[in-house]
Structure 1
């Protein structure tokens, strides 16, 4: 309800007052704008809470499978609430916001986090996955720059593009070896066996799906940044249009 309120009332009101470009956008663009405001707010809340838990929640860090999940469940519940809101938004505005990859992402996350909320299992690993949300504000800022008409060769866009690529790589790609090494370290332990087949499958399958999507998105981000940087260099191939 909070995220829907933010989308329907708070974002349109503040955006129309603070940014003249917002009023000039089409209805579809305004819808996308408001959804990205909500996405950014969610990412900042969940990402900050995630770092706090990783730093100070000793129970979760000492027992990654069965540690006290109270704070993690609260953070996961916020994320699941956002994902449900976002899926309803996709259903309502599918023509404007068509993104099958994101729908797959949402269902995979909800499927896995359902076990965290219902049984309180895997709190450390559930919270660790939420680190990826720290890259979302940079992704959305790139879209906002496009919406207000800033050239992709301008300094703010290039700085944000570099930051987006670096942060996305750090929180979604570079952590993959460390994450899976900790996953493999739990195999065969008493805590892992107590999980049962359902949580085990949900945990591993959802992680694999999410990381395949992350690698795919990392490739698109790196390729897009490379095109923008090299387009203005001598010998660079000129693009026929501005669609990227």
Structure 2
């Protein structure tokens, strides 16, 4: 009976406070940060047990090894849910609901974005703490812009559709992290490394070039709704994706050059 009483109290706390509409943003951000910590610790534990080369890595390499594990898990999580909201959910459909699509949100969409904000905060903190070992200034700018845009969309409910469109670009992250793992493991000349390069090229083209073109086209088609956003929302919809698109093009150029170099060595 006593255990049942505690269980009922826990369920009441969860429903009335942690998952109440006003608490969802804060609960989700905390969940995101805690999830990052959990993945980091589990990665260290399993890597020590199952990867013989892991203990021989430098301290910075071991940190980056675990950090990339966090970004991989987040990328899978946010890509799956973003694809669901953009292409399969009726939440942002032009025909299913009344009202402007730029102001639509739900408890699940807000919670999803909050977990992502938690990740960006945790990862940005690690990048700054170990700067520049985990990434240069371009990574700091990327995380600041992305984190600010996602946080605003989470807190206000504005422009969540376009936020999810941009977050689909995280689908390229697992491939990039795998490339680093293969390189660190000394498998740069393996067939897996070559296949990985081709997959990154295709994924980047689709998720970070073509998808951004679709985003801008979607904004153009729904401009009458987009222009009713608040000024900060307009800034995040027009400026942030544009800056990220330019950075994506710059990185895409590096990917092309790297792929050409890899293919040339195999001829």
Contact 2:72 2:177 (8 Å CA) reproduced: yes
**What's the counterpart of residue 121 of structure 1?**
158
**What's the counterpart of residue 36 of structure 1?**
68
Matched residues, number: 229
Contact 2:124 2:140 (8 Å CA) reproduced: yes
State the distance in 2 between where 1:31 and 1:57 align: 37
Matching residue within 14, 26, 32 for 2:46: 14
Larger radius of gyration: 2
State the distance in 2 between where 1:206 and 1:166 align: 23
Contact 1:21 1:148 (8 Å CA) reproduced: yes
**What's the counterpart of residue 97 of structure 2?**
none
Matching residue within 206, 226, 229 for 2:260: 226
**What's the counterpart of residue 85 of structure 2?**
53
**What's the counterpart of residue 74 of structure 1?**
111
| TM-score, structure 1 as length reference | 0.89
Matching residue within 191, 197, 206 for 1:155: 191
Q: Tell me whether 1:2 sits opposite 2:35 in the alignment.
A: yes
**What's the counterpart of residue 239 of structure 1?**
none
| TM-score, structure 2 as length reference | 0.81
**What's the counterpart of residue 89 of structure 1?**
126
Contact 1:46 1:130 (8 Å CA) reproduced: yes
Matching residue within 234, 249, 252 for 1:215: 249
Unaligned runs of 5+ in 2: 1-33, 95-99
Q: Tell me whether 1:204 sits opposite 2:241 in the alignment.
A: no
- Following superposition of structure 1 onto structure 2, how do residues 123-138 of structure 1 map, counting pairs within 5 Å? 123-138=160-175
Cα-Cα RMSD: 1.5
Give the C-alpha shift of residue 42 in structure 1: 0.6
Give the C-alpha shift of residue 95 in structure 1: 4.2
Unaligned runs of 5+ in 1: 234-244
Give the C-alpha shift of residue 221 in structure 1: 1.1
State the distance in 1 between where 2:169 and 2:39 align: 22
Runs of 4+ in 1 over 6 A off after TM superposition: none
Q: Show CA shifts across 1:89-129 (max 9, x none).
A: 01221142242111100111122222211210112111111
State the distance in 2 between where 1:198 and 1:17 align: 48
Question: Residue 101 of structure 2: SS of its match in structure 1?
Answer: coil
- Following superposition of structure 1 onto structure 2, how do residues 161-200 of structure 1 map, counting pairs within 5 Å? 161-187=197-223, 189=224, 191-200=225-234
Q: Tell me whether 1:146 sits opposite 2:183 in the alignment.
A: yes
